[in-house]
Structure 1
Amino acid sequence: MKLLTMKQIYLLITTLSLITNAVTAQSDLIYHVDSGEGVFTTNLDGTSKNLLTSYSPSATSLAHDIELDVENNHMFVLDQNGKNLRQYDLNGTNNTLIYSYATNPSDIELDLINGKIYHAINGEVFTTDLDGTNKNSLITYTPSATNLLNGIELDLINNHMYIMDINGDSIIRYDLNGNNNTAIYNYTGGTQYPTDFALDVENNKIYHISRDNTAAEIFTTDLSGNSKTVLSTYTAGSSLLYIDIELDIDNNHMYLLSTNGDLLDRYSLNGTNKTLIQSYPGSFPKDIVIYKTDSTLSLNDTELNDTEIAVYPNPSSKFIQISGIKGDEKAFSIYNTHGIKVKTGTIQENNKINIQTISNGIYFLIFENGNSIKFIKK
């Protein structure tokens, strides 16, 4: 039987997931948090605006951050002034309080493989389950003029979290359990104040935004903070100040949100081809997140028939073992997230597949009958 293409698999699994979860989105979307209006979606080019939930900013309400759990049909919205984290369905309904903070929260990040939320607040970084229970403190510190942990990004493949210290002008890397802190990048001289960063783990890159009082840079380093490459510079001021960056690696794009000037720009990943995507006139944009239709692929097992196939351990560094294979040997192929085939072979029930020779990253194990399983090589 001919193997399905990655696009065919994405479309088929997406259709099944949309039916199961009643998700109405039919294409790639941007979810916007606009404190002057609410949460809404647009297409990746900024068209077809759809308001999901509205509110007015106040001393007790200021939406600050958004993250998506597409598999469970949820979005999480962080309310900085209200000191709470709320969960909605992806269409903006079913508002549920997930967590109340004693102090102002600054950022959250989801670990959907292990079912955890990573929270960064004034003085602490901790995890909870996705429902807000089982708090586990990872990092505690005393905020100061030189120490204030703010933005957080996860590298689940290499067991790392990266945290931006906005007062210390640095990015610090920790293990996911909060141990082994390492200064990765210090923003010294010139454009020395970090405003946001994003990880491209597969390509070993960090995308940075930094500024001083007037000048600003968009640049990359590797995941260890080395090999700086400036992609674009601009004049920071009342009409332009980027505070948020999101990556769309598949389409060779990065999106940058400006709180001054109230706009969203899109660039190619090399810093060229600047395009205005969205304007927020008289409003307060705070965050965006990109919804990709292929993100509806399961983070554990994805099945296209009744065969219960599982992969373990997941993540793994040396081999994966497959259970649930019925009958004779089955042909398989392994693809990376760019649709490139990296390994082929045949396998029977409980056989192992050696993955030591492939690079760290996210992969899809695809059988000739159409079954697809997502796994992580670390």
Structure 2
Amino acid sequence: MSDSRVTADDGSTRAANIFDVARLAGVSHQTVSRVINDLPNVRPATRARVEQAIAQLRYSPSPAARALVTRRTRTIGLVTPGVPDYGPTSIATHFNIAARAARYSVDTVSAVDPDPAAIKGVVEGLLRQRVDAVVLIVVDIGVLEVVRGLDLSVPLVAATSAARRGPHIVSIDQYRGARSAVRHLAELGHTRILHLAGPTRAPDAVERIRGWRDELAERRLEILEPHHGDWSAASGHQVGLELDIEPGSAVFAGNDHMSIGLLSALRERGLRVPEDVSVVGFDDVPEAGFLYPPLTTVRQDFGTLGELIMQKVLISVEEPDSVTEDTPLPTHLIVRESTSAPRM
């Protein structure tokens, strides 16, 4: 008989969980759950296949999860920021798609005030509605600490870019994404790489600044203070009018919307992109390839992130003892026409 531990993607071993059983039996995790809890509407052949997979993997379901099965509402509380930024909005959209595919409904609450105390109140409100789990899209670095201090009766999964990782945190690797953007500019020959960063308390902005600094430091290039915007095109335009652009300069912008404003400001100043200054953005918004010039940027896989969040929720609900820490999802540099070698 096989051992109860399975090999993870990173080569390590872990105890088998309900998703391993589902994969081996060729069924959904919901079907496995119905077999485990002796619920109806499972074909005898399917039940036998699931039971065989359980035996083969020596899978032992969590007693706590089994005790809670009859009290579930199949509803997840989702806390989103109250601003229409591309990243958080995309995460929420793809998470909703993944939740529907798993036959869960989502109760979404937009937190207009990103203050940690306000987020705490929103989470407490969702808990009173008896949701099975809470998903939090974090846009303020202080939110996680406040929420972790709550006496939570259900799992909480956070989508955040904080450098600190954990079993209930899912993220995209903003740090390495930022380094890839700066590396691209440096390899083109740029030695003065400015940074138009996002808000100072935004986890994404913090990680992208860290990546920008570390790549410059490793290459022994000059590190100037970053300029901050608020993720909007208007803020990118304002900063773009004020940037000290020298021949051969390049700008790494913290998101594509600020890049859009930046490109407009540079044109107003009579500066050509990429002839006079190269620009790299972050996100790869749908419009990025249709700007003038088409924008070099860092693509984030929000679709996969939404699926990962939902899988983390399901494991936390079905098998809380088997939740493990995940590696942040990689980003991909998309090279277009807004970057070129400096022309002195």
TM-score, length basis structure 1: 0.27
Q: Relative CO higher for 1 or 2, CA cutoff 8 Å, sep ≥ 6?
A: 2
Larger Rg: 2
Higher strand share: 1
Higher helix share: 2
